[in-house]
Amino acid sequence: AIQMTQSPSSLSASVGDRVTITCRASQGIRSGLAWYQQKPGKAPKLLIYAASSLQSGVPSRFSGSGSGTDFTLTISSLQPEDFATYYCLQDYNFPLTFGGGTKVEIK
């Protein structure tokens, strides 16, 4: 199975900060990567698919980049509603695998 290594596992940031989360695949997955946001007690929400395509309705401060094995989710200016846990998912090979998550907390 493809391993997805996400880093950092947590971070503290302030409103307005630029935040970057990375995900590394144990083998190449082309652009078969999605990013999700999850708030406590809620279902995950799709932010980015195909590594860099913004899902409809998601604010443009979210962006994704990368291909192959290394991927990045960037929040250009962190907003209060962005404090949550973020997960990457590879949908290139079965079994699908999620990264371990990155909890973004208020500094």
Partner 1 sequence: EVQLVESGGGLVQPGGSLRLSCAASGFTFSDHYMDWVRQAPGKGLEWVGRSRNKPNTYSTEYAASVKGRFTISRDESENSLYLQMNTLKTEDTAVYYCARVLCTSTTCYGGDYWGQGTLVTVSS
Which residues of this chain interact with partner 1, rule CB under 8 A? 1, 31-34, 36, 38, 43-46, 49-50, 55, 87, 89, 91-92, 94-101
The structure tokens listed for 1 are: 């199975």
Min separation Cβ 67 and partner 1, Å? 13
Min separation Cβ 51 and partner 1, Å? 9
Task: Tell me the longest C-alpha to C-alpha distance in the chain.
Answer: 38
In whole angstroms, give the CA distance from residue 35 to residue 64.
8
Pick from 68, 77, 65: which is nearest to 19 by CA?
Answer: 77
CB-wise, 66 or 99, nearer to partner 1?
99
For residues 88 and 6, the answer to whether their CB atoms sit within 8 Å is: yes
CB-wise, 10 or 77, nearer to partner 1?
10
Q: CB-based contacts of 89: which residues, under 8 Å, 6+ apart? A: 4, 33, 34, 35, 36, 96, 97, 98, 99
Min separation Cβ 16 and partner 1, Å? 28
CB-wise, 17 or 46, nearer to partner 1?
46
CB-wise, 13 or 46, nearer to partner 1?
46
Min separation Cβ 96 and partner 1, Å? 4
